[in-house]
Structure 1
Amino acid sequence: MADENTQVAPVAGAEENATQENKGFTYYFSDPDSVNAEMHHVVITLPYELPELPWHWHIEKPDDSLKDLGCDSKFHGCVDISKAGHSAIMQQSTQKIEELDKKSAELDKKNAALDQANDKFDQAMKAMQQSQQVQTQQSLALTQGLQKVAEGQEQANKVMASMQQILVGMQADQAKTATPTSDTKPAENTNKQENGGN
């Protein structure tokens, strides 16, 4: 016969639920669909440990605040199956939905404001790009104008240089004609002959 103090490893959590008085294992049976309300939640203490939990059996102790207790495998724990519990759950759910709706409305407003800000930013960017295009065109026109002015200045400088050469040449010609040479004699005064014959 096995020693009473030795135990096989219990199902997870069952050891915590074992009562110290009779060294048994406490389980919770629940059938929330049962017509008999007493079967919604039943506490069962066994002198031995169950290797596997049968259907509707749980090892978790339900919350004491639940009104009509029912443990459900869908929820992996105990739930309140009373109408009051359903009403409370519905009220909490409604409140959470309303909170989510408010947050959604706030997000919608923020998104609308963000969309407007993005539109304004896009318009500003387009205006800036157009301004840059105009400035680029003006700069190009100014550069071309300055090139033409420089070409015109170069032409004017060439004309001035040609004129200076012509003036230098003219001055040289005048200088040649102004100096007397030995071949040429100054014209004698013809007034003497006309007046001297008298």
Structure 2
Amino acid sequence: MADETQVAPVAGAQENNATQENKGFTYYFSDPDSANAEMHHVVITLPYELPELPWHWHAEKPDDSLKDPVWDLKVNGWVENSKDGQAAILQEATQKIEELDKKSAELDKKNAALDQANDKFDQAMKAMQQSQQVQTQQFLALTQGLQKVAEGQEQANKVMASMQQILVGMQADQAKTATPTSDTKPAENTNKQENGGN
């Protein structure tokens, strides 16, 4: 970059004088490296003519077709401020940083909401697991109770079967004792006949 105290001779000063005799002298200031876009092109009107122009001052008017004119030292004239320029890069970077800050804040909000949703989900899962544990314990207790009832019923069936066998045995014994046997009765009769016949 050239020394800022450098002065350039006025180019086109005579043309400028001819067109600006009644209104003063118009000059154009341009700092293409400024982050402030307003400093890329500033119109300055003075009541007197400058014999030499200070650094960044120019007598030549930029073309009206340029949207953001800046003075280019390489071409020694006005050019459109390119996206490759430092000022444009700084401005674009600043805008991107602001956008990223906004997106970061939005993501923070979404993450906070997601964290709350995850907490609620975790609580619901814990409650469901506890409920499942209680249901499992109740089911095991019911299964064990039914198993004991089945075992008790099996024992009762065995007792009933034993009692039936005992009753059948008792009935058989009663039937044997209630009817006299043929061995004892005829012996009594034969003795009577023997005694009676003599």
Q: Normalising by the residue count of structure 2, what TM-score does the alignment of the two structures yield? A: 0.47
Q: Which has the higher contact order (CA 8 A, sep 6+)?
A: 2
Aligned to 2:71, the other structure's residue is in SS state strand
- What is aligned with 1:7? 6
- What is aligned with 2:51? 51
Q: Report the CA distance between 1:93 and its aligned residue.
A: 5.5
Any idea what the Cα deviations from partners look like across 1:136-170, whole Å, max 9, x if unmatched? 22222222222222211111111111100100001
Asked if 1:30 is matched to 2:30, the reply is yes
CA contact (8 A) 2:25 2:46 kept: yes
Q: 1:109 to 1:31 in 2, by over 3 A?
A: closer
Q: Report the CA distance between 1:126 and its aligned residue.
A: 1.4
Q: Report the CA distance between 1:103 and its aligned residue.
A: 2.3
In 2: Cα distance, 1:12 partner to 1:160 partner: 132
Q: 1:98 to 1:33 in 2, by over 3 A?
A: closer
Q: 1:166 to 1:69 in 2, by over 3 A?
A: same
Q: Percent identity?
A: 90
Q: Report the CA distance between 1:111 and its aligned residue.
A: 0.9
Q: 1:162 to 1:65 in 2, by over 3 A?
A: farther
Unaligned runs of 5+ in 2: none
Q: Normalising by the residue count of structure 1, what TM-score does the alignment of the two structures yield? A: 0.47
Q: Report the CA distance between 1:39 and its aligned residue.
A: 17
Q: Report the CA distance between 1:73 and its aligned residue.
A: 13
Deviates more, 1:69-78 or 1:102-111: 69-78
In 2: Cα distance, 1:142 partner to 1:100 partner: 61
* RMSD of aligned residue pairs (Cα, Å): 13.6
Aligned to 2:52, the other structure's residue is in SS state coil
CA contact (8 A) 2:70 2:80 kept: yes
Q: Report the CA distance between 1:61 and its aligned residue.
A: 18
Unaligned runs of 5+ in 1: none
CA contact (8 A) 1:31 1:70 kept: yes
Q: Report the CA distance between 1:133 and its aligned residue.
A: 1.8
In 2: Cα distance, 1:19 partner to 1:190 partner: 181
Aligned to 2:70, the other structure's residue is in SS state strand
Q: 1:26 to 1:177 in 2, by over 3 A?
A: farther
In 2: Cα distance, 1:3 partner to 1:111 partner: 52
Q: Report the CA distance between 1:54 and its aligned residue.
A: 26
Q: Report the CA distance between 1:121 and its aligned residue.
A: 1.0
CA contact (8 A) 1:22 1:47 kept: no
CA contact (8 A) 1:28 1:41 kept: yes
Q: 1:154 to 1:54 in 2, by over 3 A?
A: farther
In 2: Cα distance, 1:179 partner to 1:11 partner: 160
Deviates more, 1:52-61 or 1:167-176: 52-61
State how many pairs are aligned. Answer: 197
In 1: Cα distance, 2:14 partner to 2:191 partner: 164
In 1: Cα distance, 2:22 partner to 2:8 partner: 18
In 1: Cα distance, 2:38 partner to 2:161 partner: 125
CA contact (8 A) 1:29 1:58 kept: yes
CA contact (8 A) 1:15 1:25 kept: no
Q: 1:3 to 1:101 in 2, by over 3 A?
A: closer
Q: 1:90 to 1:59 in 2, by over 3 A?
A: same
CA contact (8 A) 2:71 2:78 kept: yes
